A and B are shown apart, each in its own frame.
Chain A
Amino acid sequence: MVISCIMVFSAFGQQKTITGVITDKSDGLPVIGAIVIVQGTSVGTATDMNGRYTISAEPGKTIVYRYIGMKTQERVVGTDAVIDIQFELDDVGLDEVIVVGYGSAIKRELTGAITKVETKGIAEIPTASFESAIQGKTSGVFIEQASGKLGETVKMRIRGSSSVSANNQPLYVVDGVPITTENLSNSSNQPTSPLADLAMTDVESIQILKDASAAAIYGSRASNGVVIIQTKRGKSGATKFDVQYTTGISEPSRLVEWLNADQYLELFNESMDNVSVDGLVWDWLPKEDIWEIYVGETWDDGYDTDWQKEAFQKGSLNRINVSASGGSENTRYYTGVSYDDTKGILRGNNMNKMSARLNLDQKATEKLSFGVQMNVIRTEMERVENDNAFATPLQLVAQSPLTPVYDPETGELNTNTIYYNGLISLRDGINNQTSFRSLANLNASYNILKDLAFKSEFGTDIYDLREKNFWGRETIGAGPAGEAQNRSVRVINYNWENYLTYIKSFGIHHLNLVGGMSYQQSDMTGSDIQAKGFPTDDFTNIANAAEATSFSSWENTTTYLSYFARASYKINEKYFFTLSGRVDGSSRFGVDNRFGFFPAASAGWIITEENFMAGVKNVLSYLKLRASYGITGNSGIPDYAHLALYTGVNYAGRTGLEVVQLQSSELGWENTAQLDVGLDFGFFNNRLTGEFDYYQKTTTDLLLYRTLPSTSGFTGVWSNVGELENKGIEFSLHSNNFTGKFVWTTDFNMAFNKNTIIDINGPEITPNAINYVIEGQPIGVFNIVKYAGVDPDNGDALYFVEEGSDETTNNFNLASRQVVGSPNPDFSGGFNNYFEYAGFDFNVLISFVYGNKVYNGGGVYQSANGDWFDNQTIDQMNRWQNPGDITDVPQARLGDGNGTKVSSRYLYDGSYLRFRNLNLGYTLPGKLTSRINMSSVRVYIGVQNLYTITNYKGWDPEVNYTGTGRSTQNTNIIQGYDFYTAPQARTYTLGINLSF
């Protein structure tokens, strides 16, 4: 039976039978299922369980040996009847293995848009979360860190935002399990990322599925793309140990310049003079009294405090990873432990992470193999308050330079500051978050027939989060006896997948079928209790509190039931076709709309394999055209969104019921149809390779939280209305400029995405009256009054009356809003250069973003021409003073609001180019290392965020503060918004890697 296929294709003529064994050079094990074909004919076979093959060919013909992940080899048929082949790994070429959903494929055979991210060296990058480590490395994947705080959610947009109200983050699949990624920490602070738990040293590969063909196998949650992460596996052979140690220091990557005491006095004296009548400020009190009331008695004591300095601490980083891997013929293992202790740049912001992993693969019989991947992680974070809280460190910049940090009389932290002195919270408060996570995946595969395998995977992701907050009695609002909060959330997410794989070659025809089902359930429970009244600040546990002030608990379940199938068919290694479909059911929708169908089709054609291209092959060595079209879904909305809900409420101890949601019984999937046309190319024997893609993504039946007239009693409802579109191009280039002793490679990628809201079937949507969703505009555009500068005659701030008109007014209410910019970049990308010579290697990664705007929400306080006593940015000294002055800073008038309304005055160009990562390493010569019984020794120094070129006036143009109590919709729409948001860290590192 096994040999029947060979019989079918056995040819005639001067045939010679050739046999051989194909093995993997790295471990000497037989390679099963390697493709063996006679070039230019339709004769082909595959190796059996022992790596053995038999094929007939005419002498003089070339036999081609292929296997995914290995370098393709060719042999000319001569006199030998036995040809054994040793395959070598191919890491970066076109034969690189790409993990796709429910299987893997060779890069050259892909028909969809999938990017494999270069993971080499990411463990050396000193970022808290892996997304940050791959920033700028892949085209079409826009990654943005919200701030320089540790462990925060990182925004990742694959080919733009495909939804207005539903989730826009990609689906993350780790070792086959869709993991919990949404923020679960208290919404009164910035979101944290459960992804920060993953230890980067454990990561073997990261694949990003961008188009519908690639992602549709994940159906209902694939509209935002899919990120597939595989962790490391052992290889047969002796145990290999790897030890990595990195240490470093960090500081803010940029600072803002504030007024010193003299400038502050000058500006505010003038500001008061300008609103004085007969020497009385506001016709009320003399200046000295106002100084005393607002700034405090120390105002004329000669202090000159740099409050910005107080917000920061000297950051540090210590990270150690130890791993061991190896195995025998039947058992392979990888095990690693890592410890990461990071002290952030903001005072009181620290994080430490411990992780242990065991990956085990066992071949039980010829047919049955199973494996287990287990990972336990504990992450502890010391957090600071959200950006819009007086207690957050960076709001210290609002304090007057005339007030000292410490009270000169008591020596304690000064409480006579214009705003609450946030340092008190750092001294007397606790803001801890501890998460414990265990990821476990058990899988088994059984080869039912030679070509047919059954695979079952059961994965769990148990995430347990505890938050403990304590506010001492002297902290803001926590008098007279302190307050505390304990919050806990547990998410048990399990996933069971069963599928059959059928792989069969018929000569030049190759068929790969996958079909199966998946069930996922996610159970979340949580509780939150707050209490106040502690005997002293030494007691911080709720057990010691006098009374509870708030208590809450919740339980939610989400389930998905799915069936999927995919057929891949290739002919003669030249033409490739893939069809896939997934039917998904979700508990999030009403009975009638519960199931959705997500099909996709794609095709690829390697043009250079055609005979007519033979002439140009020495220049254009590789050219592939691919195209795909498919539909993916989105169900990233809250549970029970389709129901009319009443919830239990507490009216001062009396039980009440309150309606919280309007019924929307028709609610169903949001669909995204995506067309992708791509071109993969290689020049000069693939010295220069690249990819180019054009895509058009149209999302219909938007899961929109539609605004309602609130006279209805409701402000919005979840509906399937509206449409939006993303289209763009992206390309990447990889060039081996020099190979040999001196290696120089260059990678460049760039992506243009244009997002357009086509229809929202209702009024504009805005969560903050700054970022808007407007038909015909990209999501989150800044729709605010346009600032027209300063009237040279009187120093009044002027605003444009309406769009397209030059007419200005000093009456803010008469100026109408207009679209003044978009937070979405026109393009973004990265530029990487790698050099290697005589054991030294040097890598420099630059990432850039262009064309987006950033609104500084703190501007109305920070750069308000001395409108209030907040310390001002230095540019405010350039205020209007005398008739005829030409400036864009209005006259200083205390409390008058001259130019301090929300307007484009505080909108800045957010484009930047950042030296994201520089790394210089030295690998000791092999002779030397073997003398000390090492297989490899490498030392390196690096710097992250060395320098940023930008016109942005705030701390960091890579910024987003989405506010507290946020919804997914708010998170999607509020973009490019800065509010005392911390800059990213510049981190200098020194590290060593040992392998033995």
Chain B
Amino acid sequence: MIMKNMINKYKIGLLIVPVIVMLFSCTEKLEIKPKQSIDAEMALSTPENIKTTLVGAYLQASSSSIFGSTFNEYSELYASTGDLRFMGTYQQPREFINKEASTTNSYVASSWIQAYQLINTCNTLLQDDVLSILDAGDAETVKGEALFLRGWTIFEMTRFFGLPYEPGQANSQPGIPIVLTPTLDVSDAVPVARNTVAECYTRATEDLIMARDLLPGENDIYATSFAASAVLARLYLQMGNYNAAATEANKVIQNGTFSLASTPLKAFNNTENSTEDIFAIQKNATSETSWLAVMYASLSGAGRGDYEIQQVFLDRFSPSDLRGMYQSNTESGYTIDQITMMYYKGVGTILNDGGINTAKWGNYYRNISLIRLAEMYLIRAEANFENPGADIGPNSPTQDINLIRGRANAPLFAGPVTRTQIRDERYFELCWEGHRLHDLKRWKMNIGSDAYDAGNLILPIPFREMEVNDLLVQNEWYTSGK
């Protein structure tokens, strides 16, 4: 009996010992690898992963916080003096249309953050030891695309956060910080100061020139040599460098394979790039909701209808001009596919209906055209007009303008076109695409009672950023009210 108890006791004891020994040796159980992510080294170690990371850069660029929407909204809202009204409730757009942004405006902070995330991705890809993993041809393309995205981002951000570029001046007013090295470790995340507007334009120009020279003429939906030329044309126009602007625009028109869509509206809401698209954000059903459509559209399943176009603007178009036509017979349940005219009576259920909405941004999940061929004609026309005698390209300004008008079924000009006609045409063709504010500043035209270079017409350095970075200097209007 006693013996049996002893055995029982030991049996249990023998069970306990291995249990404890086993459990003391399971330290490797703490070694858990993530399953839906990979670490940085792996991401940048193979040609395939590097190219895939570049695709990620395009996704970053497509964000509603930058190219996807707010770059457009800032421009159109700040430029508006009654052609577009904000009907919504969000405080952020109201501040822009009132031309009184606050430093805590969350759109502005998001733009700043997203722009630099994109720039950091570009900088990561532009490292020599990353590019060296690729074969020579791929290395050129990847480098060209990264430079394209970085240069373009610096250019757009400088236009919003810095006072206007003044041709022939020193342009020592602050632009944005130029960051050219990647952040790989927390120790790289150091404060940086703003560069001057001149430095920003120089950097953007150099990036885009390199991109233009490195990139091929065709590159699926990604950046091409022509896309880089097109952005350069835009940039040179902003700088008042008409010769270079016309040259780059002409290059795109003459050497590219682009052609105008059959009607103005066909250039928008496409599931694949149209023949007119030089560069477009790609969208499909699985993409982030297009914020442009959220704000501009008022349709079934799309849009709050917050940005309403006013009749006074439509009245400026010739009656036959497709770009000013209004579809009033819309009904609830209509999507963009039932919209046949450039403007329509809103039928959205979210917020505002019954107003006039543009059809340019009518679906959450269709491509967003960022650079269209039409803009190149308009740049060439304006640049040639402002730079008489250079006559870059085969067409006169009048011919270029009439090409655009002809497509829109607007009466052609007998010519020669005037400066006002060129500028109006630019507005009619490119309205609600994010050009207006920059054009007005370029033309040194007042916006309401604000002079083109008024301090309240540029964005504040986000409050968040000022707090975390002592080297940043706030734009003056936001500290002095002047």
Decide if B185 touches A663 in the complex (CB within 8 Å). Answer: yes
Query: B414 within 8 Å of A by Cβ?
Result: no
Decide if B36 touches A587 in the complex (CB within 8 Å). Answer: no
Q: In the assembled complex, how far is the CB of residue A966 from the closest CB belonging to chain B, in whole angstroms?
A: 15
Which residues from A are CB-within-8-Å of B55? 649, 651, 654-657
Among residues 20 to 36 in chain B, which have CB atoms less than 8 Å away from a CB atom of chain A?
20, 23-24, 26-27, 29-32, 34-36
Which residues from B are CB-within-8-Å of A424? 349
Can you list, as one digit per residue, whether each of A558-586 has a CB less than 8 Å from chain B (1) or not (0)?
A: 11010100000000000000000000011
Decide if A554 touches B121 in the complex (CB within 8 Å). Answer: no
CA distance A859 to B238 in the complex (A): 43
Decide if B284 touches A713 in the complex (CB within 8 Å). Answer: no
Query: B247 within 8 Å of A by Cβ?
Result: no
Which residues from A are CB-within-8-Å of B183? 662, 712-714
- Pick the residue among B112, B283, B287 that contacts A710 (CB under 8 A): B112
Decide if A549 touches B465 in the complex (CB within 8 Å). Answer: no
Decide if A549 touches B285 in the complex (CB within 8 Å). Answer: yes
Interface size on B, residues (CB 8 A): 95
Query: B136 within 8 Å of A by Cβ?
Result: no
CA distance A294 to B102 in the complex (A): 26
- Pick the residue among B49, B58, B285 that contacts A532 (CB under 8 A): B285
CA distance A711 to B26 in the complex (A): 42
Interface of A is mostly: mixed
CA distance A659 to B37 in the complex (A): 9
CA distance A769 to B102 in the complex (A): 12
Knowing A561-B27, A585-B30, A712-B120, say if A456 contacts B19 (CB, 8 Å): yes
User: Residue of B at shortest CB range from A812?
Assistant: B102
Knowing A594-B30, A763-B468, say if A709 contacts B52 (CB, 8 Å): no
- Pick the residue among A585, A651, A861 that contacts B58 (CB under 8 A): A651
Decide if B32 touches A711 in the complex (CB within 8 Å). Answer: no
Decide if B30 touches A650 in the complex (CB within 8 Å). Answer: no
Which residues from B are CB-within-8-Å of A811? 481
CA distance A707 to B467 in the complex (A): 10
Can you list, as one digit per residue, whether each of A650-681 has a CB less than 8 Å from chain B (1) or not (0)?
A: 11111111111111100000000000000000
Can you list, as one digit per residue, whether each of A703-723 has a CB less than 8 Å from chain B (1) or not (0)?
A: 000011111111101010000
Decide if A454 touches B16 in the complex (CB within 8 Å). Answer: yes
Binds A, one of B189-197, B210-218, B253-261, B391-399: B189-197
Can you list, as one digit per residue, whether each of A343-380 has a CB less than 8 Å from chain B (1) or not (0)?
A: 00000000000000000000000011000000000000
Decide if B52 touches A657 in the complex (CB within 8 Å). Answer: yes
Which residues from B are CB-within-8-Å of A474? 349
Query: B94 within 8 Å of A by Cβ?
Result: yes
User: Residue of B at shortest CB range from A666?
Assistant: B186
- Pick the residue among A293, A367, A587, A657 that contacts B53 (CB under 8 A): A657
Knowing A479-B335, A585-B27, A653-B286, say if A713 contacts B182 (CB, 8 Å): yes
Query: B177 within 8 Å of A by Cβ?
Result: yes
Which residues from A are CB-within-8-Å of B42? 646
Can you list, as one digit per residue, whether each of B1-27 has a CB less than 8 Å from chain A (1) or not (0)?
A: 000000001001100100110011011
Query: B325 within 8 Å of A by Cβ?
Result: no
Can you list, as one digit per residue, whether each of B55-68 has a CB less than 8 Å from chain A (1) or not (0)?
A: 11111101000000
Query: A548 within 8 Å of B by Cβ?
Result: yes
Query: B91 within 8 Å of A by Cβ?
Result: yes
Q: In the assembled complex, how far is the CB of residue B370 from the closest CB belonging to chain A, in whole angstroms?
A: 14
Knowing A554-B36, A654-B282, A762-B468, say if A714 contacts B189 (CB, 8 Å): yes
Query: B358 within 8 Å of A by Cβ?
Result: no
Query: A536 within 8 Å of B by Cβ?
Result: no
Query: A556 within 8 Å of B by Cβ?
Result: yes
CA distance A293 to B310 in the complex (A): 13
- Pick the residue among A478, A496, A650 that contacts B23 (CB under 8 A): A496
Knowing A656-B52, A711-B179, A712-B120, say if A390 contacts B365 (CB, 8 Å): no
Query: B152 within 8 Å of A by Cβ?
Result: no
CA distance A897 to B92 in the complex (A): 12
Decide if B102 touches A901 in the complex (CB within 8 Å). Answer: yes
CA distance A651 to B68 in the complex (A): 13
Query: A420 within 8 Å of B by Cβ?
Result: yes
Which residues from B are CB-within-8-Å of A861? 89
Which residues from B are CB-within-8-Å of A902? 104
Which residues from B are CB-within-8-Å of A813? 100, 102-103, 478, 481
Decide if B465 touches A664 in the complex (CB within 8 Å). Answer: no
Which residues from A are CB-within-8-Å of B219? none
Q: In the assembled complex, how far is the CB of residue A119 from the closest CB belonging to chain B, in whole angstroms?
A: 34
Query: A740 within 8 Å of B by Cβ?
Result: no
Which residues from A are CB-within-8-Å of B82? 284
Q: In the assembled complex, how far is the CB of residue A498 from the closest CB belonging to chain B, in whole angstroms?
A: 6
CA distance A902 to B179 in the complex (A): 33
Which residues from B are CB-within-8-Å of A390? 350
Which residues from B are CB-within-8-Å of A554? 35-36
Decide if A652 touches B282 in the complex (CB within 8 Å). Answer: yes
Which residues from B are CB-within-8-Å of A368? 12
Q: In the assembled complex, how far is the CB of residue A390 from the closest CB belonging to chain B, in whole angstroms?
A: 7
Can you list, as one digit per residue, whether each of B252-285 has a CB less than 8 Å from chain A (1) or not (0)?
A: 0000000000000000000000000000001111
CA distance A420 to B351 in the complex (A): 6
Knowing A448-B12, A587-B31, A813-B478, say if A646 contacts B189 (CB, 8 Å): no
Q: In the assembled complex, how far is the CB of residue B97 from the closest CB belonging to chain A, in whole angstroms?
A: 10
Which residues from B are CB-within-8-Å of A647? 36-38
User: Residue of B at shortest CB range from A482?
Assistant: B301
Which residues from B are CB-within-8-Å of A659? 40, 43, 53, 56, 120-121, 124
Q: In the assembled complex, how far is the CB of residue B471 from the closest CB belonging to chain A, in whole angstroms?
A: 9
Decide if B40 touches A656 in the complex (CB within 8 Å). Answer: no
Q: In the assembled complex, how far is the CB of residue B458 from the closest CB belonging to chain A, in whole angstroms?
A: 14
Query: B93 within 8 Å of A by Cβ?
Result: no
Decide if A498 touches B23 in the complex (CB within 8 Å). Answer: yes
CA distance A557 to B34 in the complex (A): 8
Decide if B32 touches A558 in the complex (CB within 8 Å). Answer: yes
Query: B469 within 8 Å of A by Cβ?
Result: yes
Binds B, one of A304-312, A637-645, A910-918: A637-645
Query: A547 within 8 Å of B by Cβ?
Result: yes
Which residues from B are CB-within-8-Å of A456? 19
User: Residue of A at shortest CB range from B308?
Assistant: A293
Knowing A448-B12, A657-B43, say if A769 contacts B481 (CB, 8 Å): no
User: Residue of B at shortest CB range from A709?
Assistant: B469
Which residues from B are CB-within-8-Å of A654? 55, 282
Query: B135 within 8 Å of A by Cβ?
Result: no
Query: B128 within 8 Å of A by Cβ?
Result: no
Most buried by A among B31, B36, B123, B191: B36
Knowing A656-B56, A662-B189, A709-B465, say if A553 contacts B36 (CB, 8 Å): yes
Query: B39 within 8 Å of A by Cβ?
Result: yes
Among residues 299 to 327 in chain B, which have CB atoms less than 8 Å away from a CB atom of chain A?
299-302
Decide if B30 touches A559 in the complex (CB within 8 Å). Answer: yes
Query: B434 within 8 Å of A by Cβ?
Result: no
Query: A103 within 8 Å of B by Cβ?
Result: no
Decide if B189 touches A652 in the complex (CB within 8 Å). Answer: no
Query: B167 within 8 Å of A by Cβ?
Result: no
Kindly list 17 other residue pairs between chains A and B, CB separation below 8 angstroms, not including A644-B41, A811-B481, A895-B94. Answer: A420-B351, A448-B16, A477-B350, A517-B23, A521-B29, A532-B285, A553-B36, A639-B34, A651-B58, A651-B59, A661-B37, A662-B185, A711-B191, A711-B469, A715-B113, A860-B91, A897-B91
Pull 17 A–B residue pairs with CB atoms less than 8 Å apart, ordered by A. Answer: A479-B301, A498-B23, A553-B36, A563-B24, A640-B37, A643-B39, A646-B56, A653-B282, A654-B282, A660-B37, A662-B185, A662-B186, A708-B468, A710-B113, A714-B120, A717-B186, A901-B102
Residues of A within 8 A of B (CB): 284, 293-294, 367-368, 390, 415, 419-420, 424, 446, 448, 454, 456, 473-481, 496, 498, 517, 519, 521, 532, 547-551, 553-559, 561, 563, 585-587, 594, 639-640, 643-664, 707-715, 717, 719, 762-764, 766, 769, 811-814, 860-861, 868, 870, 895, 897, 901-902
Closest 10 CB pairs of A and B: A713-B120, A479-B300, A656-B55, A479-B301, A712-B189, A656-B56, A644-B40, A652-B282, A646-B43, A658-B56
